[in-house]
């Protein structure tokens, strides 16, 4: 008989704890938001806008940080364990990106992977830029690894690490990672069309 | 599927249905080398660290198919009782382990570190040794890492 009144406060405490944790983690989540498309912007249907829906998505931006820290997850939180850019964008000397990331996603551990897994070079830091600024940086040969338009199209539509965004595997809880809002085929067609039409950055 | 590789310089060929099986389970359950530990299975703790072609790898997140033709080294292949590896020697001198569970992973990560950085600074240690120890032996571990590097430097000098 006595156990019932005792268990109620415990249950209340537990529920309270869970609620507090949920509220706290939401707070942490929002402080790392890296979304570059304002929520109220009407998404247009031009090749430029379609391409940018992908390039501003966290699947791309997380590895194009504006500092030396890779980001993770929908909330773009800093990579756990203090991992940083290190040397050659490949991590530290003895603990490299490839200590954990292999050429394919690992569905057992939830660790994402793709060939030549690495951080984008510092000159390609896009985090915090809007889509127009990203496009400018992407076309700037001083920042884009001296790539011509043809080479950019190749990088954007053929590179397996770039295309990983459309097949990002599952996370550590086995939950599929979110993909960009348009399909891989639509994205590729948009990139090709935008470059074919002269890679003109629309006025803001 | 057949996959061939060497473990501690012994060649192995295994027959396995799921080529994506983590290397950790092949090492522990098929080759019965139990020194490599399972901590999280999420590449987060480092208990499963071993070497693949001289690089530290978290074997819980390494599909066995990637081991084809590679040289794997586990804690069992680091040194012997008679001839301990500098990391093992230093670990004994500094009496590092508490429960011991995380230690093989730390030792393999350290062996890889001092091969690449013979005189690691505290910063090098902070960056590269990011395994997790629930018993918090980090303080003794740091001393042992410096000591292991020192032993390795002296040994390689005498061998020159
Ligand atoms: S068991 Fe592999 S990192 Fe924890
Ligand atoms: S010694 Fe116990 S977990 Fe590290």
Q: Angle, to 10 degrees, between the axis of helix A47-55 and the axis of helix A131-139?
A: 90
Q: Looking at the CA of B135, which ligand is closest?
A: 2
Q: Inspect the interface and report whether the beta carbons of B41 and A82 lie closer than 8 Å.
A: no
Chain B stretch 68-107, residues whose beta carbon is closer than 8 A to a beta carbon of chain A = none
Q: What is the pLDDT of residue A25?
A: 37
CB of B133 less than 8 A from some CB of A: no
| In-domain check, residue A8 | no
Facing residue for A172 by CB, picked from B42, B126, B130: B42
The reply to whether ipTM tops 0.85 is: yes
Q: Residue A174 belongs to what domain range? A: 33-196
Residue-wise pLDDT for A178-189, tens only, equals 999 999 999 999
For residues B68 and B18, give the distance between their C-alpha atoms in angstroms, rounded to a whole number.
14
Residue-wise pLDDT for A74-99, tens only, equals 999 999 999 999 989 999 999 999 99
Please count the residue pairs, one from chain A and one from chain B, whose beta carbons lie less than 8 angstroms apart.
Answer: 74
More confident residue, B6 or A16: B6
| In-domain check, residue A15 | no
Q: Looking at the CA of B134, which ligand is closest?
A: 2
Q: How confident is the model at residue A19 (pLDDT cuts 50, 70, 90)?
A: very low
Cβ neighbours around B108 below 10 Å, total: 28
- In total, how many domains does chain A have? 1
Residues of chain B with CATH 1.10.150.120: 86-159
Residue B98 in contact with ligand 2 by CB distance below 6 A? yes
- Least Cα distance to A49 among A196, A186, A198 occurs for A186
Tell me how close the Cα of B54 comes to any Cα of chain A, in angstroms.
10
* Mean per-residue pLDDT of chain A: 85
For residues A156 and A137, give the distance between their C-alpha atoms in angstroms, rounded to a whole number.
14
Tell me how close the Cα of B93 comes to any Cα of chain A, in angstroms.
24
Tell me how close the Cα of B83 comes to any Cα of chain A, in angstroms.
24
Q: How confident is the model at residue A35 (pLDDT cuts 50, 70, 90)?
A: very low
| In-domain check, residue A102 | yes
Q: What is the pLDDT of residue A204?
A: 74
Q: Inspect the interface and report whether the beta carbons of B66 and A80 lie closer than 8 Å.
A: no
Residue B99 in contact with ligand 2 by CB distance below 6 A? yes
Q: How confident is the model at residue A41 (pLDDT cuts 50, 70, 90)?
A: low
Residue-wise pLDDT for A128-176, tens only, equals 999 999 999 999 999 999 999 999 999 999 999 999 999 999 999 999 9
In CATH terms, the superfamily for domain B86-159 is: [2Fe-2S]-binding domain (1.10.150.120)
Cβ neighbours around A160 below 10 Å, total: 13
Indicate the CATH number for domain B2-77: 3.10.20.30
Nearest CA in chain B to A103: B66
Q: Inspect the interface and report whether the beta carbons of B41 and A84 lie closer than 8 Å.
A: no
pTM of the predicted model, to two decimals? 0.86
Q: Inspect the interface and report whether the beta carbons of A92 and B128 lie closer than 8 Å.
A: yes
Q: What is the DSSP letter of A42?
A: P
> If residue A106 lies in a helix (H) or strand (E), which one and from where to where?
none
Q: How confident is the model at residue A44 (pLDDT cuts 50, 70, 90)?
A: confident
Residues of chain B with CATH 3.10.20.30: 2-77
Residues whose beta carbon lies within 6 Å of some atom of ligand 1 = B 38-41, 43-48, 58, 60
Q: Inspect the interface and report whether the beta carbons of A95 and B130 lie closer than 8 Å.
A: yes
| In-domain check, residue A3 | no
Helix (H, G, I), strand (E, B) or coil at A77: strand
As a whole number, mean pLDDT of residues B33-37 equals: 98
CB of B38 less than 8 A from some CB of A: no
Residue A194 has pLDDT above 50, yes or no: yes
Cβ-based burial of B71 (10 A; exposed 0-12, middle 13-18, buried ≥19): middle
């Amino acid at each position: 008989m006595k156990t019932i009144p005792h268990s109620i406060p415990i249950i209340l405490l537990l529920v309270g704890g869970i609620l507090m944790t949920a509220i706290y983690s939401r707070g942490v989540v929002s402080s790392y938001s890296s979304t570059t498309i304002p929520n109220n912007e009407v998404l247009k249907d031009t090749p430029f806008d379609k391409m940018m829906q992908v390039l501003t998505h966290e699947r791309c931006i997380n590895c194009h940080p504006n500092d030396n820290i890779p980001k993770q997850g929908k909330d773009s939180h800093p990579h756990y364990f203090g991992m940083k850019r290190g040397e050659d964008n490949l991590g530290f000397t003895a603990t490299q990106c490839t200590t954990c990331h292999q050429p394919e996603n690992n569905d057992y551990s939830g660790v994402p992977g793709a060939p030549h897994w690495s951080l984008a070079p510092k000159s390609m830091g896009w985090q915090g830029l809007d889509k127009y600024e990203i496009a400018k940086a992407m076309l700037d040969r001083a920042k884009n690894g001296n790539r011509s338009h043809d080479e950019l199209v190749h990088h954007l539509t053929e590179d397996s690490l770039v295309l990983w965004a459309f097949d990002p595997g599952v996370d550590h809880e086995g939950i599929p990672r979110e993909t960009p809002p348009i399909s891989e085929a639509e994205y590729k067609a948009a990139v090709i069309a935008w470059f074919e039409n002269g890679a003109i950055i629309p006025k803001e | 599927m057949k996959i061939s590789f060497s473990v501690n310089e012994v060649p192995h060929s295994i027959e396995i249905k799921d080529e994506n099986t983590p290397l950790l389970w092949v090492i522990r359950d098929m080759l019965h080398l139990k020194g490599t530990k399972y901590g999280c299975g999420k590449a987060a703790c480092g208990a499963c660290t071993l070497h693949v072609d001289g690089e530290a790898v978290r074997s819980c997140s390494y599909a066995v198919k990637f081991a084809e033709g590679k040289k794997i080294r586990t804690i069992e292949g680091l040194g012997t009782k008679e001839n301990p590896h500098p990391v093992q020697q230093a670990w004994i001198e500094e009496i590092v382990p508490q429960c011991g569970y995380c230690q093989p992973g730390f030792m393999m990560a350290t062996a890889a570190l001092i091969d690449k950085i013979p005189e690691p600074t505290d910063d090098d240690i902070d960056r590269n040794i990011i395994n997790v120890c629930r018993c918090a032996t980090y303080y003794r571990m740091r001393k042992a890492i410096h000591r292991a590097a020192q032993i390795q430097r002296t040994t390689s000098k005498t061998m020159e």
